[in-house]
Amino acid sequence: MQQRSEETRKQIVDTAQTLFAQHGYEATSVSEICDAAGLSKGAFYHHFPTKQMLFLELLDNWLDRIDNTLDQSRWEKADIPQAMIHMANTTKGIFQEADGGLPMFLEFWSQARLDPEIWQATIAPYHRYQKYFKLLIKEGIAEGSLKDVNPHLAALMIVSLAIGMLLQYVLDPQGENWGEVATQSMHLLLDGLARREE
Amino acid sequence: MQQRSEETRKQIVDTAQTLFAQHGYEATSVSEICDAAGLSKGAFYHHFPTKQMLFLELLDNWLDRIDNTLDQSRWEKADIPQAMIHMANTTKGIFQEADGGLPMFLEFWSQARLDPEIWQATIAPYHRYQKYFKLLIKEGIAEGSLKDVNPHLAALMIVSLAIGMLLQYVLDPQGENWGEVATQSMHLLLDGLARREE
DNA sequence: CAAAACATACCGACTGGTCGGTTTGATTCT
DNA sequence: AGAATCAAACCGACCAGTCGGTATGTTTTG
């Protein structure tokens, strides 16, 4: 019993993931998901209270995968700048992890920005990343590998860069080798653009 | 006669701008726009072929205003880094220029990303900005105020930063003084984060 | 058998867009 | 001047279809 139930649930999630990525959240109807999954609407609403809740599950899955990817590159590096560069390297994986699903997250979020409940679910992880990098930079300053910059500001910058690149990746996936761009950007950010007097 | 027509058209555009910003693009129906504008659906479709086309007009208006804002800070420059910082200063104005309308652009774009025609209308200005900054950086390198970095890459970074901050501004307008953050970030980007051996 | 799992038929609300008709205001004709 | 004319501007009832969600029935499973 539980066996079949879980399979069905997984089937719904997987199918929805694919269709959302393909046509977007709004453009994909519950009926379409059911048809493609070879199930009925009854089955769908047996497993999920609303379409939104199904989506939130997808969102959580994705955030979890990001967290894992990010944490992995945290521990092996002794030096903060190196850790940051390594993180930039993993960006490509994060891009692909979403597997074309990024636009749908964006769409969903922009739709649900007025719903307080959904709003919390989306903004919380964002603040988490902000704090994460702030801490990282503080460590870097403490260990002397980074300048004595404003950690909060620097963290905002890094998050901005990440978000900006994610968005551009969505916009134009083929236009650039975004994984490479992420890595090089981190180097550039660490070194600075302006010529120094020597 | 033409007098009235233009007033009506403006009325539609203004009302739509407000409602889209308030509730989003999809969530705002044509009927709602008509009601709020004190007009009929017939009037609406007399002036605009589709809801999408009305939106594209709003988009164009906004892009024009950005271009103007950006170009203004271009000519008084003495030195490329200074011009870049000055541009970062104007970011705040660009944020406010959209006046709560940013989410709707995002939503619309994420919805219409599969429509080739709309796609062109949205991606073209984006590429324009990329080239604009690339050129700026080349000039900076030529005049010796910038390091000999990869101009394309640096331009991508700046655009990424801008996009990322725009998005975060949308996400959390009150959370930070984003105008100030933009300015400081540009300084940080020019100087770099990493401590130099001296 | 009871409860969970799934299917089917259906609902009410709402959508963008259409269409035949009416109003308006400037132009032309007498 | 004033009546006739005509096209642009505007109205609003009305599609044809979609949507998320529900109520009720049927099958499967422990």
pLDDT in the model for residue B198: 45
Q: How large is the average pLDDT for residues A76-80?
A: 80
In Å, how far is A6's CA from the nearest CA of chain B? 32
> Residue A185 and residue B156: Cβ atoms within 8 Å?
yes
Please report which confidence band the pLDDT of residue A119 belongs to, taking 50, 70 and 90 as the band edges.
confident
Q: B57-191 belongs to which CATH class?
A: mainly alpha
Closest partner CB to A192 (pick from B24, B168, B191): B191
In whole angstroms, give the CA distance from residue A41 to residue A4: 17
> Residue B168 and residue A156: Cβ atoms within 8 Å?
yes
Closest nt to residue A53, judged CA to C1' = D20
CATH homologous superfamily of domain A1-48?
Homeodomain-like (1.10.10.60)
Phi-psi region of B194 (alpha: psi -120 to 50; beta: other; left: phi over 0): beta
Across A46-55, A66-75, A178-187, B168-177, least confident range: A66-75
Q: Chains A, B: CB contacts under 8 A, how many? A: 160
Q: Which residues in chain B have their CB less than 8 angstroms from residue A157's CB?
A: 161, 185, 188-189
Name residue, tokens 């770099």.
B192
pLDDT in the model for residue A123: 84
Please report which confidence band the pLDDT of residue A54 belongs to, taking 50, 70 and 90 as the band edges.
very high
> Residue B161 and residue A162: Cβ atoms within 8 Å?
no
b/e sequence B169-192, b meaning 16+ C-beta within 10 Å:
bbbeeeebebbebbbbbbbbbbbb
Across A102-116, A141-155, B21-35, least confident range: A102-116
CA-based R_g, chain A, Å? 20
Sequence-distant (≥ 6) Cβ neighbours of residue B66 within 8 angstroms: B94, B97
Please check whether residue A92 is in contact with residue A178, taking contact to mean a CB–CB distance below 8 angstroms. yes
**What percent of chain A has pLDDT above 70?**
94
Closest nt to residue B47, judged CA to C1' = D9
CATH assignment of A54-191, among 3.40.50.80, 3.40.50.10320, 1.10.357.10, 3.90.180.10: 1.10.357.10
- What's the number of CA atoms in the CB half-sphere (13 Å) around residue B109? 24
> Residue A126 and residue B81: Cβ atoms within 8 Å?
no
Q: What is the CA A51 to C1' C16 distance in angstroms? A: 23
Closest partner CB to A111 (pick from B26, B149, B196): B26
In Å, how far is B100's CA from the nearest CA of chain A? 12
Please check whether residue A48 is in contact with residue A55, taking contact to mean a CB–CB distance below 8 angstroms. no
User: Which of A68, A69, A116, A111 is CA-nearest to residue A92?
Assistant: A69
pLDDT at A175 over 90: no
In Å, how far is B10's CA from the nearest CA of chain A? 26
CA-based R_g, chain B, Å? 20
Q: What is the CA A17 to C1' D26 distance in angstroms? A: 30
Question: Is A45 within 7 A of strand D by CB distance?
Answer: yes
Q: What is the CA B97 to C1' C18 distance in angstroms? A: 36
pLDDT at A1 over 60: no
pLDDT in the model for residue A198: 45
pLDDT of chain B, 198 residues: tens digit per residue: 566 778 999 999 999 999 999 898 999 999 999 999 999 999 999 999 999 999 999 989 988 888 888 777 767 677 889 889 988 988 888 877 776 778 888 887 777 677 777 788 788 888 999 999 999 999 999 999 999 999 999 999 999 999 999 888 887 888 899 999 999 999 999 988 777 554
Q: Where are the domains of chain A?
A: 1-48, 54-191
Bases of chain C within 7 A of a CB of the protein: 4-10, 14-21, 24-26
